[in-house]
Structure 1
Amino acid sequence: MVLKVDVKLVVLEADEVIIRKVKDKPVSIKICDLIGCQTCEEPSSSLSSLFMTPPNIVIRYISRGQHYKWTAETVEVIGSKENCEALKNEINNKLGQEKERPKKLAVFINPIGGSQTSMSVYSKVVTPLFKAANITCDVMVSERPKHMIDLVSGFDTASVDGLVVVGGDGTLLEILNCLLTRVQKEAGLDYDQPSCKLKPLEVPIGIIPTGTGNGAATGLYGNNDVVTAVLHIIRGQTNYNNAQAVYSGRKLVSFSGGVCVAYGLFSDIIYHTDRNRWLKRARYVVVPINILLFKRQRQFTAKVTVFPKEQNTDSSDEDTDATGREESAATEGKDIEGSYISIASSGANQNFLFPPFGASLVSLIKHPSEFMVALYRECGKLAFLSHFTSCALKKPDAFEKDFLSTHSVRGYKVKVLSHDESPQANSQEAEINKLVDVDGELIEIVDEEYEVWNHMRIIKFYTCF
């Protein structure tokens, strides 16, 4: 919607812009919701001015809709050039005093992720909005697999106000692993130890969701709408989120942005989906349905040790270490041994306002220092497909199933003891048994044993929630 008003009807107050319409009630726009104010270009021909009065300046602002969707609205202001120019300068001076708003960003684009639309989305949607907000950008585009790691490794994050990832969960994971590892190395920390208190990232990160999986963006913004994500970044408000770290063979093997860490059925789906690229985007539907409905559920016996928060302490989050453990708390866990088809955890917690796998996850988390792990036992194919669909649709009862048990933990360990069928060495099955799904990427583990621990408030994201 474009609103056209006379400059005399626009009043700039201390913390808002008020548009005094003649008949309808006034429109109030908070300063923090303004995107920017710019001078309009001169009409391309004199004929256009014969039929309409061209605006002198344009004010763009954020409007909030349903389902957390934000849009960029426009106010065209007409009147004397002197008054319009004065109003524009006053508005931009106000915006310049907003300390949280970024002025310069580094943008990392994955052009081949998802539907391969990242470049067009950036040029057609993101760039005009950043330009309207007077944000300049250093743009880097990956050209080959793992090239993103090289781009981030060599970039000076202190030269910008924040980073923007144009891609999906996989692209974000590469960048987080690179940045978090680099920060720990520079601080001289032994990050291979789960109990090590990690140093948080100081540079904020925004996500423009153009990937196949956009769980992190959904968790931060409430949806995977590109414009909504851009407007959160423009506003500049940030929040520290927890991250999970995956360890195997006494080493850190990957961080997780909070979407999912899974072994068994979920990692099998990722494995086979990745190997059916000839199906293009259809593989993300065809392969999971084929595995869930027509393949036998692979079972394994495992010992899972869960570490919940100590129930007899009232310590605040600030009194806990990076893994959510109080210094004085016991570190003994509870062993659970059984036969499973999958073990999966999600970093959905009270810092991750919109969990990627359903609102019910928030209610399952007992403390901000914890996250959720689910143990899946053998079940009927239709029952699991129903659960899988409920997760995708974020239904609140998605985890209320008799074939799974959930645990609120600050960390957990998994030791696979045996498989229902012993695979031959170097076979595809043997290869799959060594893999864990971390935010949609497959990570190799040692001796089919790994552990996952929560690290509190170490990633700063652009989000207004």
Structure 2
Amino acid sequence: METQHQLPFISDLCYQVIKTKQNILAVKTCESTGKRASLARKFSARNGLEIPLPHSLKVYSTKISRSGKWKLCKHCIVCSSQQQTQSLLENITSVIQKYVSLRPKHLMVIINPRGGRLKGEKIYQKYVANVFNLAEIKTDVFVTKYQEQARELVMERDLSGYDGIVGVGGDGTVHEIVNALLKRTQNEADLDLDDPEVKLIRPKFKVGIIPAGSTDVIAFDTTGVNDPVTSAVQIAQGFSVGLDVCSVHHNNYLLRYTLSFLGYGFFGDVVKESENYRWMGTNRYGLAGLLRYLGNRSYHGTVSYLPNDDHSHTPWDSEMCKAGCSVCKDKGEYIPLESGDVNLDEPDQNITVKVSNQWEMKHGEFNAINAAILSCTSLKAPGGLPAAHLGNGCVDLVLVKRCSRLQYLRYLLRISLNGNPLDLDYVEVHRVKAFKFQTTPLLSASGSAIEQGNEAMSANGETVYIPRRQASVSSTSSWNLDGEISDQPDIDVRVHCQLIQVFARGPEITEGTGSGLLCFH
């Protein structure tokens, strides 16, 4: 419903149009005709005012709905003269100019038309393009036609003149853009990408995310919702939040940079298994998950980790990361960590020991080893790890020890149904700044490593039997690195605090004010 107000002073008008002046996106002049002019005349007649001439402004602002989505609002301000219109235009424009330095002026937009929903182009044209046009943001739009084209565009194209790079697609598109941007930045600085302890340089370009995938975890964690309008508005207004990034190395070779999740065991097996059913589309993950759950494998390995030394925030905190988060606000850049003198050769089973430089080590059999950089919340998994932060310089390392199918099902249900998976006695969680994983194969009676996966195996010409257990034990799994498969089980992971700046504000839910027609006399 349109509302009408008489606002005798420009300062009052600015306050009534939008309580937070920074939320004014744009102002446009127009002629009052049709329904707006008729409403203005009726309003003037009821209040004994002269019928205003057909001069008006359209003020575009933003508000936050109760669901957490940001809305674009249009306020029609009918003025009594062209002089008054011009005065009001200059006043509101001056308000916008106070914040224009924070807002992007030129963006590279990369659209993946084959993202999870196959609607990348449609989503951009319907929800995003108009917001960028109103904010007078110049855009160069590229629609990818083959795999890795987004990487090629970021790595090879001249980026001078851009204020940021916007990806329209799923999490895979975002990861591709971020990996390319980080590699290009480090290469230009002549840094060794294969050195796990190198201090990486933050790119000068911010990254924008328009969700058009199947899960859109990163968009959900950085805005609180999965909504292209919310993301577009926060990009246009220049909001910015720092995201932690993990570098993943194998034998001093960079595998990739990750933004949200690393999973070994169950979640690695699911992605690996799903490759056999690509013809099923996104449904393949459900089938692969069922098959891997029924298999219920566990894996031998040794995890060493460097615990977080800031005890003001823990994985058990009740307060979630949100806009203006105090935990993330004052964090500095990544400081290289000393690797320590960690001995991973045949430690005692299921023990935790201290090693040099405060590293700790855990050895045993695990159904899953998960590392969450973000809370990994989505519509499909509303639980996630709610205490994880966007930019605290840590990951939450979750170790799910060998357990029965029923116990592991309970863990999965806790994640998917907004429960707390951390209070299960077979689940450990550690907030860490770095961690390493190394496989430790089972040995036969003669001390030789044996290939596992069956109850009866042959080693050195003799038959070796593994006792029946609650879970079958296999030699190695694959790593799920932000949805990409890595068959290198032994990895070295380091967290780089707020290495990437993203156009976003952080999750926030407040009540906004509605739009309406404002008559100014």
Which TM class, normalised by the smaller chain length? 0.7 to 0.9
Q: Does the alignment pair 1:369 with 2:393? A: yes
Deviation string for 1:203-234 (max 9, x for gaps)?
A: 11111111123111111111212111112112
Distance of 1:411 and 1:308 partners within structure 2: 8
Distance of 2:272 and 2:151 partners within structure 1: 22
Deviation string for 1:114-150 (max 9, x for gaps)?
A: 1111110000000111112221211111111111111
TM-score of the pair, normalised by structure 1: 0.82
Distance of 1:355 and 1:126 partners within structure 2: 21
Distance 1:151 1:278, change over 3 A: same
Q: How far has the Cα of 1:252 moved from its partner?
A: 1.2
Q: Does the alignment pair 1:31 with 2:16? A: no
Distance of 1:415 and 1:10 partners within structure 2: 72
Whether contact under 8 Å (1:303, 1:415) holds in the other structure is: yes
Distance of 2:96 and 2:332 partners within structure 1: 37
Q: How far has the Cα of 1:5 moved from its partner?
A: 4.3
Distance of 2:134 and 2:405 partners within structure 1: 51
1:163-178 → structure 2 map (5 Å cutoff): 163-178=165-180
Distance 1:70 1:319, change over 3 A: closer
* 2:302 matched residue in structure 1: 303
Amino acid at match of 2:77: V
Whether contact under 8 Å (1:307, 1:410) holds in the other structure is: yes
Amino acid at match of 1:296: G
* 1:106 matched residue in structure 2: 108
Whether contact under 8 Å (2:377, 2:383) holds in the other structure is: no
Residue ranges of structure 1 left out of the alignment (5+ in a row) = 20-26, 425-431
Distance 1:221 1:245, change over 3 A: same
Distance of 1:18 and 1:162 partners within structure 2: 31
Distance 1:123 1:333, change over 3 A: same
1:187-202 → structure 2 map (5 Å cutoff): 187-202=189-204
Q: Does the alignment pair 1:381 with 2:405? A: yes
* 1:391 matched residue in structure 2: 415
Q: How far has the Cα of 1:48 moved from its partner?
A: 6.5
Whether contact under 8 Å (2:333, 2:499) holds in the other structure is: no
Distance of 2:25 and 2:388 partners within structure 1: 38
* 2:60 matched residue in structure 1: 60
* 1:9 matched residue in structure 2: 7
Q: How far has the Cα of 1:309 moved from its partner?
A: 3.5
* 1:155 matched residue in structure 2: 157
SS in 2 for 1:399: helix
Q: Does the alignment pair 1:344 with 2:370? A: yes
Amino acid at match of 2:255: V
Distance of 1:298 and 1:69 partners within structure 2: 41
Distance of 1:298 and 1:345 partners within structure 2: 19
* 2:431 matched residue in structure 1: 408
* 2:335 matched residue in structure 1: 322
Instruction: Give me the CA root mean square deviation.
Output: 3.6
SS in 1 for 2:131: helix
SS in 2 for 1:262: strand
SS in 2 for 1:176: helix
Distance of 1:390 and 1:356 partners within structure 2: 12
1:135-154 → structure 2 map (5 Å cutoff): 135-154=137-156
Whether contact under 8 Å (2:334, 2:499) holds in the other structure is: no
Whether contact under 8 Å (1:309, 1:325) holds in the other structure is: no
Distance of 1:247 and 1:84 partners within structure 2: 61
Q: Which moved more, 1:97-106 or 1:174-183?
A: 97-106
Number of equivalences = 434
Distance 1:360 1:421, change over 3 A: closer
* 2:453 matched residue in structure 1: 421
Whether contact under 8 Å (2:245, 2:497) holds in the other structure is: yes
Q: Does the alignment pair 1:450 with 2:473? A: no
1:284-299 → structure 2 map (5 Å cutoff): 284-292=285-293, 295-299=294-298
1:171-320 → structure 2 map (5 Å cutoff): 171-257=173-259, 259-292=260-293, 295-310=294-309
Distance of 2:358 and 2:190 partners within structure 1: 28
* 2:463 matched residue in structure 1: none
1:35-114 → structure 2 map (5 Å cutoff): 35-40=25-30, 56-80=56-80, 82=82, 83-98=84-99, 99-114=101-116
Corresponding residue to 1:464 among 505, 508, 512: 505
SS in 1 for 2:494: strand
Q: How far has the Cα of 1:57 moved from its partner?
A: 2.7
Distance of 2:409 and 2:139 partners within structure 1: 43
Deviation string for 1:149-183 (max 9, x for gaps)?
A: 11111233331111211112111111111111111
Distance of 1:461 and 1:174 partners within structure 2: 15
Distance 1:10 1:206, change over 3 A: farther
Distance of 2:173 and 2:477 partners within structure 1: 22
SS in 2 for 1:148: helix
Q: How far has the Cα of 1:456 moved from its partner?
A: 1.3
SS in 2 for 1:72: strand
Amino acid at match of 1:322: I
Distance of 2:287 and 2:89 partners within structure 1: 53
Q: Which moved more, 1:84-93 or 1:172-181?
A: 84-93
SS in 2 for 1:219: helix
Distance of 1:4 and 1:238 partners within structure 2: 33
Distance of 1:246 and 1:356 partners within structure 2: 26
Deviation string for 1:344-379 (max 9, x for gaps)?
A: 101138xx99999777846478x9332111112233
Distance 1:145 1:354, change over 3 A: closer
Residue ranges of structure 2 left out of the alignment (5+ in a row) = 41-53, 312-328, 341-354, 442-450, 459-474, 507-521
Corresponding residue to 1:334 among 360, 370, 373: 360
Distance of 1:232 and 1:129 partners within structure 2: 10
Amino acid at match of 2:492: E
Distance of 2:189 and 2:163 partners within structure 1: 21
Q: Which moved more, 1:411-420 or 1:47-56?
A: 47-56
Task: Give the number of the structure whose alpha-carbon radius of gyration is greater.
Answer: 2
Distance 1:125 1:274, change over 3 A: farther
Distance 1:262 1:18, change over 3 A: same
SS in 2 for 1:158: coil
TM-score of the pair, normalised by structure 2: 0.74
Distance of 1:280 and 1:452 partners within structure 2: 31
